[in-house]
Chains A and B, each alone.
Chain A
Amino acid sequence: MRTLSRRSWLKTLAAGTALAPFLDFESPAHAALAGPAKRVVLFCTMGTTPSIWTPKNVTAENAFELAESTSPLAAIRPHMVMLEGLPSGNPGDNHGSPDALTGLGFAASGRPDLVSVDQFIADRLLAGGVQSSVPSLLLGAEATASGGKTMFNRGNNLPTISSPLSAFKAVFGNATSAGAAPTDLLLKRRKSTLDAIAGQIQTLRQGVGSEARARLDLHLDSVRQIEKRLSGGGGQIAGCGQDLGATDDTTDVLKANLVHLDILVSALACNATRVAAIQFGSDQVLQVNLPELELQGDEHGLMLHSGAGDNFKKLTQFEKWLSQRFVDLVTRLAATPDPDGGGTLLDTTLVVWARDMGDGAAHNQESMRFVFAGSKYLKTDPNGRYIDFAGRNVRHERALLSICEAMGVTDFNGFGATDLGSNKTPLSELRA
């Protein structure tokens, strides 16, 4: 881990090169990245139960029947690949394990090398010279409210932005048609203010111990990200973005998350970020309030654990609702032009539905389940694809490596477990 002095940071900024927080300049990944996917979106939900998820009547990889809970995915069959049977390296790790997106289990919590795939890719993109106004956008209304964790980590667990209003302002506050575009005077004021704040953090930093110093370094880095945005260094399209009606209300976490999804798509369309994620619920709880479906209460406690009696009827209905949201996301990306020109956002965005536990009822990571969709990286079929890796002992971390590869990140040093050896490779089955 290495940080730059303020002076050298400004010098480099002036030279027009964006720098990642904590990037390692000696890394071979510094080379320019050229992945088929330019953006990645992680759609994160709680573990389900296999009996309602696994496709039925599977006769071939492209011949299968979707279960009721995933039936909405039929609308995006030509774009999607469903995966299961991928054990994690810590298959019994239960709630709150960072495993799903890091490849590392409980024991790695708090370790500096614990990094989730979203953060790893964000760092590598910046190191590779791919500028981004918002290096990673992590959204979700409930993750920490009820004492839970998110699936995102950088040493420690990373919170998501809970308030849709705060998220909207943070992404579009500097340049939006909805809010007033900053005047030169305001821009100048902001720059001077951030200089002053950065100076105070540096001064304070000198008088504290190492643990507080590390936290102040993160704060300083966060301030410098604003400075970069103000300098137009991130490539965000000026004036792009519309008023999404975001409010501060997170009482209904699902409603708030729908606004977060609007913000997320908008952020991609305006080229504000290349790494975005949304989390539904936390590792412990997801409060569902969908009166139109007669669904109310905690997904995990009520629908999953108390659901066996009626064959998970409520869970199935709720998972079906989630599937439709995933489909909506993919469909909207397919209808949105790529800000870099050419095709649509879906052509260049890899969307991945990931879960903290493969089997939420049994609390384990024995068979991790994913749905991949979009981007020209993915090998697709008009009928969709379903790959069951069961019995082949293929670690789920390799699906995460596929996400990296899609984004042009092929040096996996610093990510995931160290015991994969020659198997530390992406899943060839996913590559077009």
Chain B
Amino acid sequence: MKAASIFRLPNCVPLARLALAVALSSLGALTSGCTGRVLGNGGGGALTDAETGTSPGQDVAGAAPITSLPPASACRTSSPGPRALRRLTAAEYSATLRDLLGDPSLPLTSVFSDPTVLGFSVDSHALVIQGLGAQQLMDQAESVAHFAVANHLAQLTSCTSTDAACRQTFIRQFGKRAHRAPLSDADVAVYEALFAAEASFADGAEAVIAAMLQSPYFLYRRELGAADGSGYQLSSYELASSLSYLLTGSMPDAELFAAADSGALLQPDELGKQAQRLLQSPAGHRAVASFMNDWLGLSKLQTVAKDDAVFKLGDSLRQAMAEETRSLIESTVFEQNGSLASLLTTRTSFVNQELANHYGLKSASGLGATLTPVTFDPSERDGGLLAQGSILTAFATASESSPVQRGKLVRTRLLCQPLPPPPPNLDTVLKPASGGMTTREHFAQHSTNPVCASCHRMMDPIGFGFEQYDAFGRRREQENGHPIDASGAVASDTGDAAFVGLPGLVDYLTNQAGDEVNACLVRYWSYFAFGSPGWNEDQCTYDTISQQAKAEGFALQSVVKSIVKTARFSRRVADP
């Protein structure tokens, strides 16, 4: 040890946890630590408004970074939360440029490096334009405007004369789509002046398009609304944007603009109809997949390092695993109109021959490279999301299964129970396994050391239930000559729920903890939809979504459709 004056904490010391808890609570992101308390849902973990220390109309997290979803309020009174200004995410920005100019292959440069918060890049607090950002946007706007005028001018305007009438028509028509709302007269005048300084229609259009693509009305989604006595009602255009970005990841299409123009979108029935239409579109399917991807950390499969000495995981197998999960989600959500429970319990999946061989499916033959629906024989492989090769491989170390990562996935993403990051000054590297040890025996270090156990009891015993699958998602009956012990437990303040293997864990998650798991899904999808991890008096909104979805068997589609029906989606209160 070099710095003699520094007190070196041994592994998992509670003092360090205390310091971390203080740090986190001072951020406003109150943590319930390793206690198994559920966030919100009116349960024992719900904090009162006084405890969260927020004022009306304020986001719970404020501007500070968060490491877990903050606890929801108790549901006493409902508030739709504060008004919001949300910069387009990197993906939304690119998709919007391509849709606006009607060119799916529009050449673009990556401008934004979006921070990821809780696995998502939707957090409006974190999406900022600063430093060289405006310069990068200017460069891109000029290139795109130049390209658009050179290649697509005829599609972008109905006239090309330089008279004021044609100029204004172009500015108002293109501007409405760029701003995603009709232009104010003041904005028309601003763009007209830019146009008028140019020598030709093409130059004028290029200057105006470049300016519009740098406009805050293009770069930010507005959820500001107009005061109507009891709060703020979002405009039909703001609603159109919110709906479109949630359900397609891009700007409103012509039909949605028409519904905003007529004001019909302000009617709940029309809003629901449009939601249904967009959800069924190809972009709607991609938007659901995008949520699932971020929620479950599925993209980790693409980057997780693997030890070739244990098994050479080639690209084609990695892609087959990713595709299997995409297909399972697509089929469950859109073909079966299924729920999260059905996603967790289904025995149907999609494999090609390479993946079937990897899984050791004896009856599968001649499948080729294309994924084909199969029904797993439980003696060969468990079904459902948690038994997918993608998740088992992503949530594992390079060579070993990881009960910690797998348990943490269930604890934080399915049960919404926060786990603080490893405490300060902790050497998280386990002592190397001695010869012949099973993974379970190796990770027992976490439970034999009481200071480690305080947090790891929340993760490892859940992860042990996955032990029938190795670091590459292969089923195993033995490890190092010892039979696999896949018995596990979900620890909580009210006692441990014991289970055996993935079927046992899934049974717990879909029955005993079914309401919690569905509430957790609602919480994450709300975060994805609203770009806010929570606000004062938010619990009633989550409860409303849950009640409506429950009436439809908690079908995954019904969750996002219920989000659209909430007051939060169309109304706001004043913000500080």
Contact = CB atoms under 8 A, between A and B. Distances in A.
Interface stretch (B127-135, B379-387, B484-492): B127-135
B477 interface: no
A204 B109 CA distance: 27
Interface in B200-233: 207, 210-211, 214-217, 220, 222, 224
Contacts of A194: 138
Contact of A222 (B132, B191, B399, B429): B132
Interface string B113-148: 111100100000111111111111011100000000
B135 A158 contact: no
Contacts of B428: 305, 363
Contacts of B112: 159
B6 A366 contact: yes
A151 interface: no
B65 interface: yes
Interface string B46-66: 000000000001010011110
B307 to A, nearest CB: 8
A50 B2 contact: yes
Interface string B337-361: 0000000000000000000000000
B452 interface: no
Nearest to A96: B421
A201 B216 contact: yes
Given A144-B114, A306-B399, 6 more contacts: A147-B116, A166-B136, A189-B197, A197-B214, A215-B127, A222-B130
A210 B110 contact: no
Contacts of A16: none
Contacts of B27: 107, 109-110
Interface of B: 1-6, 8-9, 16, 19-20, 22-24, 26-27, 57, 59, 62-65, 82-85, 87, 109-116, 119, 125-136, 138-140, 186-187, 190-191, 193-194, 197-198, 207, 210-211, 214-217, 220, 222, 224, 303, 305-307, 397-399, 421-429, 432, 574-576
Contact of B115 (A135, A149, A363): A149
A210 B424 CA distance: 34
A319 B301 CA distance: 26
Nearest to B190: A196
A87 B62 CA distance: 31
B306 to A, nearest CB: 8
Given A169-B139, A219-B133, A159 B115 contact: yes
A301 B471 CA distance: 15
B3 A94 contact: no
A95 interface: yes
Contact of B110 (A143, A166, A171): A166
B424 A87 contact: no
A419 interface: no
The CB with the most chain A CB atoms within 10 A, among B125, B132, B187, is that of: B132
A226 B217 contact: no
20 contacts: A92-B19, A96-B421, A107-B23, A110-B27, A156-B65, A156-B128, A161-B113, A161-B132, A166-B111, A173-B135, A188-B197, A192-B194, A197-B134, A200-B187, A201-B216, A204-B85, A211-B62, A222-B130, A305-B428, A306-B398
B4 A143 contact: no
Contacts of B217: 200, 204
Interface in A183-218: 188-190, 192-194, 196-197, 199-201, 203-204, 207-212, 214-216, 218
Would you call the interface of chain A mostly helix, strand, loop, or mixed? mixed
A219 B114 contact: no
Nearest to B191: A196
A285 B304 CA distance: 10
Contacts of A306: 307, 397-399
Contacts of A163: 109-111
A306 B162 CA distance: 67
Contact of B2 (A85, A92, A196, A297): A85
Interface residues of A, number: 100
A170 B191 CA distance: 24
Contacts of A189: 194, 197-198, 207, 210
Nearest to B85: A212
A125 to B, nearest CB: 15
A93 B115 CA distance: 20
A98 to B, nearest CB: 10
A306 B87 CA distance: 40
A192 B193 contact: yes
B8 A366 contact: yes
A309 B290 CA distance: 38
Contacts of B210: 189, 193
Contact of A94 (B1, B83, B220, B421): B421
Nearest to B428: A363
Nearest to A147: B116
Given A107-B22, A144-B116, A208 B139 contact: no
Contacts of A145: 113
B135 A229 contact: yes
Interface in A121-152: 134-138, 143-149
B424 to A, nearest CB: 3
A364 B425 contact: yes
Contacts of B140: 166
B134 A219 contact: yes
A221 B130 contact: yes
A145 B116 CA distance: 8
Contact of A155 (B63, B110, B139): B63
Contacts of B397: 301, 306
A214 B82 contact: no
A162 B305 contact: no
Q: Which 6 pairs across A and B sit closest by C-beta, in order of nearness?
A: A92-B424, A110-B64, A92-B425, A209-B575, A297-B305, A222-B134
The CB with the most chain A CB atoms within 10 A, among B3, B83, B87, is that of: B3
Contacts of B113: 143-145, 159-162
A169 B424 CA distance: 41
Contacts of A388: 2
B83 A208 contact: yes
B52 to A, nearest CB: 16
A156 B125 CA distance: 10
Contacts of B128: 156, 215, 218-219
B134 A223 contact: yes
Interface string A352-383: 00000000011110110000000000000000
Contact of A199 (B114, B131, B190): B190
A92 B22 CA distance: 14
B294 to A, nearest CB: 10
